[in-house]
Amino acid sequence: MKITDFGKYKQAGRKISMLTCYDYWTASIVEQSDVDCLLVGDSLGMVMHGHDSTVTVTMDMMELHTRAVVQGAPSKFIVGDMPFLSNRGSLDKSLENVHRLMTAGAQAVKIEGVKGNETLISHLVDSGVPVMGHLGLMPQSVNTLGGYKVQGKSQQQADEIIAQALQAQASGCFALVIECVPTSLGLSLSQSLDIPVIGIGAGVHTDGQVLVMQDMLGAFEHNANFVRTYCNLQETLQQAFDGFAEDVRTEQYPNTDESYPS
Ligand code: KIV
């Protein structure tokens, strides 16, 4: 998938599939799959580093993981997430941070929130950086939201999200992630915008869907009802680890084929 395909896919009614990805190993498997694009999401702070939220994620972490994913999935369109506050300082500092992700190999950046980011988004787009917006539940704002809750439930909140989404489009975003909103709002957003709307917990009517890879693999504890698990990786890995430990204890591993003859 190329940047120019996002609009084409929306026009053609062809849904976009996106997964988060944080490392070389899984990226090289996704590389062989039909998944359209990858997001090196700042959720890596929680999934890969065990942090309580994404607030503690740094540019160093984002840059390192982006490089690994790019190595593993060279043919996929890869979006790098701007971590908490990395785009809220001076324009120069924000540009420097965006530059780090782009030179790590990202083909676009994702920025949470539109209010206060309009000038930066336009400047980036004018400078050749594709920008993906992110509205609805914005995990970096967990401390102001008071938890991970469904957003846009009242008409007033829904109208505000639609206004912000239109602003994201006007500022030059090529696509928008919308997280944890009622299905009806996911539909309104997809109908109101020319750019594709990629939902996570936003119902079936959005122009695409994104999931955290470890959630859909059943490899990470989660309680969000929108997650569909496509395998139980946690159980499979647990069995493999226990099998190895048992074989070592009982001297079933290594056998003669797995050893060098003297
Ligand atoms: O960081 C992330 O994983 C995300 C997705 C939830 C869209 O932003």
147 three-class SS = coil
Q: Per the domain annotation, does 43 fall within a domain? A: yes
Q: Per the domain annotation, does 260 fall within a domain? A: no
- For ligand 1, atom 2: residue with the closest CA: 41
220 has pLDDT over 90: no
* Per-position b or e across 127-166, b if 16+ CB within 10 A of its CB: eebbbbbbbbbbbbebeeeeeeebbbeeeebbeebbebbb
Q: Per the domain annotation, does 116 fall within a domain? A: yes
Catalytic-residue membership of 221:
no
Query: Domain range spanning residue 79?
Result: 3-216
84 has pLDDT over 90: yes
Could you tell me the pTM of the whole model?
Answer: 0.96
Task: State the pLDDT confidence band at 221, using cuts at 50, 70 and 90.
Answer: confident
What's residue 41's pLDDT? 98
261 three-class SS = coil
Segment 134-149 shows an average pLDDT of 94
Share of the chain above pLDDT 90, in %: 97
Q: Per the domain annotation, does 248 fall within a domain? A: no
| Ligand 1 pocket by Cβ (under 6 Å) | 20, 39, 41-43, 81, 134, 177, 179, 200, 210, 212
Q: Given the structure tokens 């490392």, which residue do they identify?
A: 23
CATH number where 133 lies = 3.20.20.60
Q: Which helix (H) or strand (E) holds 177?
A: strand 175-179
pLDDT tens digit sequence for 5-53: 999 999 999 999 999 999 999 999 999 999 999 999 999 999 999 999 9
- The CA distance from 171 to 119, in Å, is 8
Q: Per the domain annotation, does 237 fall within a domain? A: no
- The CA distance from 190 to 199, in Å, is 10
| Domains of the chain: total | 1
